[in-house]
Structure 1
Amino acid sequence: MLARTVREVEAAAQRGRVTPAVRTKFQAVALLLREERARVREETTGSEAHRAEQLKRLDGVATILATTAVQDAGLLGLLAEDAVASDAARALRRELLRDAGIEAAPEEAPPAEPATVPVVPERRVVPQSVVSRQLANPFLAPDFSAAPPRVSRPRRLAGWELLDPLLSSFERAGSGEPACMPLPTPSWLPVPKGLELMPHQAQLVAAAAAGHRTFLLADEPGLGKTAQALLAAEAADAYPLLVVVPSVVKTNWAREAGLWTPHRPATVIQGDGETIDGFADIVVVNYEVLDRHVGWIGDFGFRGMVVDEAHFIKNKSSQRSRNVLDLSERIRSRTVRPLLMALTGTPLINDIEDFRAIWQFLGWIDDSKPLGELMDALEDTGLTPADFGFYAAARRCVIDLGIVRRRKVDVAADIPARRIADLPVELDAAAGRSIRAAERDLARRLVKRYEGALAARESADVVEEIDAELVRKVARWELKEATTSTAGENVFGMMRRIGRAKAGLAADYAAQLARSAGKVVFFAKHVDVMDAAEETFTRQGVRFSSIRGDQTPSSRQKNIDAFVNDPDVAVAVCSLTAAGVGLNLQVASNLVLAELSWTDAEQTQAIDRSHRIGQTEPVTAWRIIAAQTMDARIAELIDSKAGLAARALDGSDQEVSSSADVQLEALVALLTDALSSR
């Protein structure tokens, strides 16, 4: 059993697939190997020759284990005598013993570690591209110069407890108004040609250009926080720039970086980082893989750090919060005035205690007291927490350090009354590979059909270029078959599979919006996508209403009323076809379109459930697009057909497009691309 299991680990390591499951299996084998060696050595029954033969076989297993370990530093560390066995490894050990027919002895519970001992990550990696960057510039060290020493001054408030009063000041002295630091009037800004910032965005970038370096950017969703952060980094020359984000938006950050800072190469860390560009100016990493990269990131020489959805670090005892705070401290200790930005749409009057971690990330406080500029500002007020007026003055001191909060209603003149924002997402590795493989199969079938039709022509003329007319005929044949047959992969099945793969990511983003901006309408075409989204909401503790086509009128109205009237019901999960018309959901100004419509008209009808007379805020529809799939192509086609429809309504002789147009054009594009790449 040990030999078979260690061979599985060896094969996985040789393929470069050292996953957490492989590491668990490796450690379980190491535990059993030590136990079995000790048992054989202490065995008194049996011959000496038999015992020697057993030890020889165990040595063979140990040799494979050792040679496998040298290929991966994380595996090598698991062989150390003091390596702590994970719960998963101990559980697998017991399972392997049961499979071998051996009764596992009861284990003693490991001693509890003191709360102050940090949790050691399972493993750390250093991508080869990062090593190459370091080797390419051996004499060009990052800017690790420490900030100039602060001049000590008498501390009038040294004996006062200040953190609780500072937090309380946002509840006691805020008057319910949004908190926003004074922002300068924009002059020249580093905006790429052809793009334009909205006035409220330009103000924050101007503050960075004027020398401000810490921001808690708490604008409501839909007000362009990503563009503001990227251009603030450009204005502050804060490169290399580290961006820590939830996994659902990391692809969008890379896309936005290419749009707003096109001359700054951006790279996204996936998994162990084998594909990242170590020479990039902008490095995007998601919270889930940060622990394995925190070592090299801390030594990389970043001069700026952005934390998106910063409320993710509110629990200071969590591993991801400790990683973010550790990186922030290392950047602040090694770089003169780095740019630090925390982005969150969570209103400042909620969960005041959660701001401790965010303020600490920004360097405003530590675990027990205000730091630096904040302490100086509090001293300059001449007040103590016992004085009248302290709370209002303290609130203003914190805000002036860099809190920026604008609501949609405050800047309604800056933004369109209705807009669609595309959010590209990377599908799960297995699902993404499966969908791309299915797309290739569909493309191959179309190519085969095209070549067959070409060969069947009576003309003997050789066609050297792609026959556009025949391509459209083949696409029409395929589309006709797809509407009458369910055999084989077709465009409708592809889009449904993509919708299912996106469901969890779309629901996760809707839950984030609900927490930061209030009620959200979630639209999907298929029932299984709605089911998957509702499972995600249930798992995350987000209350929702479900509006579907198979409901009775009374049940449907009950769910609508719950969403509209109950403040605790945060999301309405709606069928795109059943709830896309006839509903008034203007209580929400944010919508998530988890699946694409086949027409712009259907998409517009869904958006108009919130964008209607009586809506007091601009409406944003977040369209979730699966990157590197047919989904992205169809989104472009829908948008282009929308332009034709608009011209038709304005008096043009263009024909208004139908859903069949988009379906046909998607197949035409797929076949054309396949033929072009041969």
Structure 2
Amino acid sequence: MREVEAGVQRGRANPSIRTKFQTVALLAREERTRVRTATTLSESQRAEQLKRLDGIGTILAKTAALDSSLLSLLAEDAEVSDAAKDLRRDMLIAAGIELPDEPETPVEENPAPTAAARQVVPQSVISRRLADPFLAPQFETVERRTPPPRRLASWELIGPLLSSFERASSGSAACMDLPDPIPVSVPDGKQLMRHQAELVAAAADGHRTFLLADEPGLGKTAQALLAAQAANAYPLLVVVPSVVKSNWAREAAMWTPQHKSTVIQGDGDTIDGFADIVIVNYEVLDRHVGWLGDLGFRGMVLDEAHFIKNKSSQRSQHVLQLSERIRSRTTRPLLMALTGTPLINDIEDFRAIWQYLGWIDEKKPRPELLHALEETGLTPLDPGFFPAARSRVIEMGIVRRRKVEVAADIPARRIADLRVELDDEAGRSIRAAERELVQRLVSRYEQALETRGSGATDGIDHDLVRRIAAREREESAKTEENVFAMMRRIGQAKAGLAADYTAQLAHSVGKVVFFAKHVDVMDVAEKTFEKRGIRYSSIRGNQTPSARQKSIDAFVNDPDVAVVVCSLSAAGVGVNLQVASDMVLAELSWTDAEQTQAIDRVHRIGQEEPVTAWRIIASRTIDTKIVELIDSKAGLAARALDGSDEEIVESADVQVETLVALLTDALSS
């Protein structure tokens, strides 16, 4: 706040100052709410902290008085910039607090001088534009098709297309027909598996859009790089999570060494503007979207494509803008979306990915898909429309292979639940808090029935239960006693037990991967390993890419490093830890997809031992409810992509579902 005050006094309310001003205001409001509702503070402590927050508020007011344009940032309905959201997240993480829904963001090797979003054009890119005449748009004649009949023009088709994947027939896997493999030139010592070579052959045959949804661990990075080589899709833009930028550069050097890659860090001052492969992370797209859209890319790869499932987010808008720009400048560019978990919560997660690939726009299928649907001769009212429509979408380029089908030599994996008792003071406190929560839910339910005044109902009113749960979730979001906070407390209580079990495994089986969701759980584990004399490395979100890679290399290559302590959000993607075959999940994830991603850091091509993931579950707590809900949601991708006849559980907020389960159990007992 003092930095903001000094900047405004100097008459410099630049974008960086405005971002800091808004972030301080957001955090001050949140902290005031927390302090007022915290049950662990004495009245004197509460008064002292509120007094300090009042001081912050006074400085905010005086600063805004010097520059009245800042007042708009204090309004309750003020739009929070993405830069302010990023800064808020970074400050909370630096304070040891993690957010429930946002992954940790690694520090850039060359951070930008300001967190504010701004457009830049690196000098090397300007040089390339001036020097390379081959980056002009391609205006070759596009293959002309007979305009499709207008039979489906008045139909709303996006909803039925998405529904067609929920209604998948049993055993019908979501994978396009792929050609037989062709000889592929790969560097010495490298070898493609058949399923990888099939996709490369499809690109060589002229197919240009792919949703590559192979299960994690089946080598999607190599497939994408070699498909780009087969399609001569250079220059190639690769958009990735920040934690895997370095890994993509390493993979490009291994699989396509004749095509130089460059990684954008910060403002991009160090990039090679003449490289064939440009690698950029989602978090800095806002600075580079302008020149990236004009460079003349002939291909684009989106890694961990489920990152754009929220179409209203800035990252999604930038990605869609870039793909649209590439299509407008290049005839039939190569567009690939890579994700082993394309469906996190809902079939709607497909929508943004399909739009990126150019299969649909905001409201309707694009011409190629619409033409294919017209050829079926069916409408959404016809019984055969849904399987036919699903088939047409798949042939647009969905490629989904499971390990059991294409990599039979990968050993089996199993998830083993290890239940522990929390018998200490922390455990008793957690169970007491859960009892209070259940009592509050039951009380609200009974009050609602009394208010209704229509007499007793037969059995449980499940609609009312869900409304009560949703209300509790909404009202408790700003307090310390919500489901997410309880799960964090359970994770803290389990941390020592999970670390002890990991230490036992390390002594008996060798290298072990330890996954946790929160920094404080990782801290407890590392202290435990130090006391036990066990050497470990650590993968966290606040590491630079070079430090992260050093930690990975230490675990993989040093026989004395027995454990790697990993953050679920920072190490859940783009990391190869197959040197181990045992892992410990100290905390539960909120999604099956996140859990699967973590396990597949170990269970992947090259693994020679059966893999066991040990989930540490706290008995007699909501931990047991959460694990049941997470496991039940695993059916979504199985049915939509793999043709399983497993029932899809309705997508809903897991926290709400947990509250529903708690209240239902209480009313049933």
Amino acid at match of 1:503: R
| Correspondence 1:145 to 2:139 | yes
Amino acid at match of 2:283: E
Between 1 and 2, higher relative CO (CA 8 Å, sep ≥ 6) is seen in 2
Question: Which of 607, 612, 616 pairs up with 1:610?
Answer: 612
Per-residue CA deviations over 1:606-659 (Å, capped at 9, x if unaligned) read: x655399xxxxxxxxxxxxxxxxxxxxxxxxxxxxxxxxxxxxxxxxxxxxxxx
User: Which residue of 1 is the match for residue 300 of structure 2?
Assistant: 305
SS at match of 1:410: helix
1-side partners of 2:396 and 2:121: how far apart?
35
SS at match of 1:336: coil
Per-residue CA deviations over 1:62-114 (Å, capped at 9, x if unaligned) read: xxx6xxx9xxxxx6x889xxx99961487899989967996865946459589
User: Which residue of 1 is the match for residue 387 of structure 2?
Assistant: 392
| Correspondence 1:499 to 2:494 | no
User: Which residue of 2 is the match for residue 212 of structure 1?
Assistant: 207
Residues 325 and 118 of structure 1, relative CA distance in 2, 3 Å threshold: farther
1-side partners of 2:155 and 2:303: how far apart?
33
Aligned length: 410
| Correspondence 1:185 to 2:180 | yes
Contact 1:418 1:611 (C-alpha < 8 Å) held by counterparts? no
Alignment of 1:495-574 (within 5 A): 499-500=537-538, 502-504=539-541, 530=565, 533=567
1-side partners of 2:568 and 2:613: how far apart?
24
User: Which residue of 1 is the match for residue 602 of structure 2?
Assistant: 591
2-side partners of 1:248 and 1:273: how far apart?
17
SS at match of 1:178: coil
SS at match of 1:234: helix
Residues 251 and 104 of structure 1, relative CA distance in 2, 3 Å threshold: closer
Per-residue CA deviations over 1:243-273 (Å, capped at 9, x if unaligned) read: 0111121111111111111100011111111
Alignment of 1:213-612 (within 5 A): 213-346=208-341, 351-413=346-408, 415-417=409-411, 499-500=537-538, 502-504=539-541, 530=565, 533=567, 591=602, 610=612
| Correspondence 1:128 to 2:139 | no
Residues 118 and 160 of structure 1, relative CA distance in 2, 3 Å threshold: farther
Name structure 2 gaps, 5 residues minimum: 29-53, 85-114, 414-529, 546-558, 573-581, 615-669
Residues 32 and 90 of structure 1, relative CA distance in 2, 3 Å threshold: farther
Residues 299 and 524 of structure 1, relative CA distance in 2, 3 Å threshold: farther
Residues 332 and 245 of structure 1, relative CA distance in 2, 3 Å threshold: same
Residues 372 and 147 of structure 1, relative CA distance in 2, 3 Å threshold: farther
SS at match of 1:342: strand
Amino acid at match of 1:369: K
Amino acid at match of 2:315: R
SS at match of 2:537: helix
Residues 299 and 525 of structure 1, relative CA distance in 2, 3 Å threshold: same
Per-residue CA deviations over 1:647-677 (Å, capped at 9, x if unaligned) read: xxxxxxxxxxxxxxxxxxxxxxxxxxxxxxx
2-side partners of 1:214 and 1:255: how far apart?
24
Residues 124 and 154 of structure 1, relative CA distance in 2, 3 Å threshold: same
1-side partners of 2:343 and 2:592: how far apart?
19
Measure how far apart 1:31 and its partner are: 4.4
1-side partners of 2:600 and 2:7: how far apart?
56
Per-residue CA deviations over 1:520-558 (Å, capped at 9, x if unaligned) read: xxx99789x74x7379799xxxxxxxxx99xxxxxx9xx
Alignment of 1:81-160 (within 5 A): 87-88=22-23, 107=71, 109-110=74-75, 122-137=117-132, 139-145=133-139, 148=142, 152-160=147-155
Name structure 1 gaps, 5 residues minimum: 6-23, 35-64, 70-74, 420-491, 509-522, 539-547, 550-555, 574-586, 594-602, 613-678
Alignment of 1:45-60 (within 5 A): none
Per-residue CA deviations over 1:103-152 (Å, capped at 9, x if unaligned) read: 8659464595899x999972111112112212333x55433437637654
Contact 2:568 2:594 (C-alpha < 8 Å) held by counterparts? no
Residues 265 and 497 of structure 1, relative CA distance in 2, 3 Å threshold: farther
Amino acid at match of 2:262: T
Percent identity over paired residues: 56
Contact 1:218 1:405 (C-alpha < 8 Å) held by counterparts? yes
2-side partners of 1:535 and 1:331: how far apart?
30
Measure how far apart 1:191 and its partner are: 2.8
Amino acid at match of 1:387: D
Contact 2:8 2:63 (C-alpha < 8 Å) held by counterparts? no
User: Which residue of 2 is the match for residue 59 of structure 1?
Assistant: none
Structure whose alpha-carbon radius of gyration is higher: 1
2-side partners of 1:592 and 1:524: how far apart?
22
Residues 248 and 569 of structure 1, relative CA distance in 2, 3 Å threshold: closer
Measure how far apart 1:187 and its partner are: 2.5
Measure how far apart 1:275 and its partner are: 1.4
User: Which residue of 2 is the match for residue 583 of structure 1?
Assistant: none
Deviating more after overlay: 325-334 vs 150-159:
150-159
Per-residue CA deviations over 1:217-264 (Å, capped at 9, x if unaligned) read: 000111110111001000100000000111121111111111111100
Contact 2:217 2:603 (C-alpha < 8 Å) held by counterparts? no
Contact 1:290 1:320 (C-alpha < 8 Å) held by counterparts? yes
2-side partners of 1:165 and 1:101: how far apart?
52
Measure how far apart 1:591 and its partner are: 2.7
Amino acid at match of 1:154: P
Contact 1:121 1:291 (C-alpha < 8 Å) held by counterparts? no
2-side partners of 1:254 and 1:263: how far apart?
13
Measure how far apart 1:32 and its partner are: 4.0
Contact 2:217 2:600 (C-alpha < 8 Å) held by counterparts? no
1-side partners of 2:75 and 2:147: how far apart?
47
Residues 114 and 368 of structure 1, relative CA distance in 2, 3 Å threshold: farther
2-side partners of 1:280 and 1:296: how far apart?
15
User: Which residue of 1 is the match for residue 195 of structure 2?
Assistant: 200
Per-residue CA deviations over 1:161-203 (Å, capped at 9, x if unaligned) read: 1000000001113425420000001223343344221001110
1-side partners of 2:568 and 2:305: how far apart?
25
1-side partners of 2:261 and 2:591: how far apart?
40
TM-score by length of 1: 0.52
TM-score by length of 2: 0.52
Amino acid at match of 2:310: N
Residues 146 and 272 of structure 1, relative CA distance in 2, 3 Å threshold: farther
Per-residue CA deviations over 1:556-584 (Å, capped at 9, x if unaligned) read: 9xx99x98xx99797599xxxxxxxxxxx
Amino acid at match of 2:216: P
Amino acid at match of 1:533: S
SS at match of 2:136: coil
SS at match of 2:155: coil
Residues 250 and 159 of structure 1, relative CA distance in 2, 3 Å threshold: same
SS at match of 1:254: helix
